[in-house]
Amino acid sequence: MIVADLLKNTKRTLFSFELLPPLKGKSIQEIYDAIEPLLEFNPAYINVTYHREEVVYKKRNDGLLEERLIRKRPGTVGISAAIKHKYNIEVVPHLICSGFTKEETEDALIDLNFLGIHNLLVVRGDPDKNLKTFIPTKGGHTYASELIDQISKLNNGIYLDEDIANPTPTQFSIGVAGYPEKHPESPNFETDIRVLKHKLDCGASYIVTQLFFDNKRYFDYLELCRKHGIDVPIVPGIKPISVKGHLSILPKNFYVEIPIELSKEVEKCNSNKEVEQVGIEWAIAQAKELIKAKVPSIHFYTMGRSSNIAKIAQAIY
């Protein structure tokens, strides 16, 4: 099943959610435990994020710092295959530019194709935590559009090495990221939309938005995209607030604004249980308005927590 077709043809608002691979050393059971409470809401597909390696600095005996690369989470390819084959649900692994050479990306694509996984969400990846700007991996891609171009070529049987035996065309369908509050590195919305259009021209066929807390941001963005001739499905992404710390962490990490009414309600709470309830109610109100506006799907960012998503799904589906 191709997610883009599903989004184009659906008559009702679908339910999808995104999972983060657990930290290394934990078991796949953690992923299953996050999925199972959400199965009764009939998810149309499940996304699995990808994470680059991180750089840590260790002090050497001579006092100098040594740079070490550590991978904190197991691979998205294996997790996606496990979910697809255990639950018979469509999975959408994310592919990222950062931390991967073109050859490593091609290997991941060959594995995914072999495993019968044909839907992808393609993003660039964030800058390394220790650096302010995004530095592409040597031999890798600088922008999501370049990675999409590599996948589109593979869909036409064009592999990196033209002498490769059996250059079977793949059949990947690609979603990309969009930013209702603008990507933080873009100088203005016009540039952001131009880049988004370029990603679609390179072969992507639908958009999933960054999380937002004010639906007006999404509706304005939708209008702007349509005005610029972007006619593909644009799936809104929602993340319920669940701890007080989200008031500062989410704007800092995702460059999104939290409406004053929501932050006031969260600040009044005396426990995280109360915060979670406020987050659930806010997300339900957002989702109800989005459903009324006939969005193709609502995409929930679980960030490793699914009990609150289940309560929201219960109220709206």
The structure tokens listed for 81 are: 């295959």
Strand duo 65-70 + 54-59: pairing: antiparallel
Residue with tokens 């679980």: 302
For ligand FAD, the closer of residues 30 and 54 by Cβ is 54
What's the one-letter identity of residue 205?
Answer: S
Closer by beta carbon to ligand FAD, 50 or else 213? 50
The residue type found at 311 is K
Least CB distance to ligand FAD at residue 215 (A): 17
Q: Nearest distance from residue 142's CB to ligand FAD, in Å?
A: 8
Report, in Å, the least distance between residue 167 CB and ligand FAD.
Answer: 27
- Sign, Cα dihedral of 250, 263, 216, 189: negative
- The enclosing H or E element of 85 equals helix 76-87
Q: CB nearer to ligand FAD: give 79 or 313.
A: 79
Is the distance from CB of 241 to CB of 262 less than 8 angstroms? yes
Say how far apart CA 178 and CA 175 lie, in whole Å. Answer: 10
- Could you give the CA distance from residue 123 to residue 199 in angstroms, rounded to a whole number? 10
Q: Which two three-digit tokens encode residue 5?
A: 């077709």
Q: For residues 18 and 265, which CB has a smaller minimum distance to ligand FAD in the complex?
A: 18
What is the closest distance, in whole angstroms, from the C-beta atom of residue 11 to ligand FAD in the complex?
24
How far apart are CB 248 and ligand FAD at their closest, in Å? 19
Nearer to ligand FAD, 96 or 287 (CB): 96
Question: Rounded to the nearest whole angstrom, what is the least distance from the CB of residue 87 to ligand FAD in the complex?
Answer: 20
CB of 293 to ligand FAD, least distance (A): 19
The residue among 21 and 279 lying less far from ligand FAD, judged by its C-beta, is 21
Residues within the interface to ligand FAD (CB under 6 A):
49-52, 94, 96, 121, 123-126, 143-145, 177, 183, 185-186, 191-192, 195, 199, 208, 210, 237
* Nearest CB to ligand FAD, comparing residues 40 and 190: 190
User: In DSSP terms, which residues pair with 119 in a beta bridge?
Assistant: 173
Report the length, in residues, of the chain. 317
Q: Cα(200)–Cα(205) distance, rounded to whole angstroms?
A: 6
Quickly list H helices, 115-238: 144-155, 189-201, 215-227
CB neighbours (10 Å) of residue 210?
Answer: 22
Max CA distance (Å), the chain: 66
